[in-house]
Amino acid sequence: MLTRASQTAPMRTLIRFGSSKNVHIKNPSAAELPFEGKAAGKQPVSVKLEAQKLYAFCGCGHSNKQPFCDGSHKGAGVTLRRPIRFTVDKTDNYWVCMCKESKKVPLCDGTHKTVQGSHEKPTTFVAFGESPVYDGVARQLGYKYKNGGFQ
């Protein structure tokens, strides 16, 4: 006898995607920064990753080669986020995070379903590089230059 749930369930092919236990982060400090990168998309992307190949997941969200890093994070004042380097044990398709807020980066954990829009959640951390405007404002506010920066 068929139940109501089985009668209404859509027919589709199930595709198994790799799990986070197969992923090994090579630079864990980059994955544990207290602020998220800029969202590059609202949904994860399916990417075929090869076993033992080193990948660089874009942690900042500025890369034009999403979800991978192209070096866009470099440069004064852009971001302090760095790429998350990782390998996988098994060649498989993986859901890779695009919202940059997953707790299992580089893989998606469904956090994108609860992420607020960028205007509702502004960045709480801003870094300034060598900038005459920043220097002028810092001096005007009374900060003293010490040990290579204003304090």
Q: Please say if the pLDDT value at position 8 is more than 50.
A: no
Note whether residue 42 is domain-resident.
Answer: yes
Q: Please say if the pLDDT value at position 116 is more than 70.
A: no
Note whether residue 146 is domain-resident.
Answer: no
Note whether residue 24 is domain-resident.
Answer: yes
User: What is the domain range of residue 96?
Assistant: 15-113
Model-wide pTM > 0.85 = no
Q: pLDDT, tens digit, for every residue of 94-110?
A: 999 998 888 888 999 88
Number of domains comprising the chain: 1
**Whole-angstrom Cα distance, residue 84 to residue 102?**
13
Q: Do the Cβ atoms of 90 and 18 come closer than 8 Å?
A: yes
**Whole-angstrom Cα distance, residue 114 to residue 99?**
10
Q: pLDDT, tens digit, for every residue of 87-98?
A: 999 999 999 999
Note whether residue 58 is domain-resident.
Answer: yes
Section 40-61 average pLDDT: 92
- Looking at every residue in the chain, the average pLDDT score rounds to 76
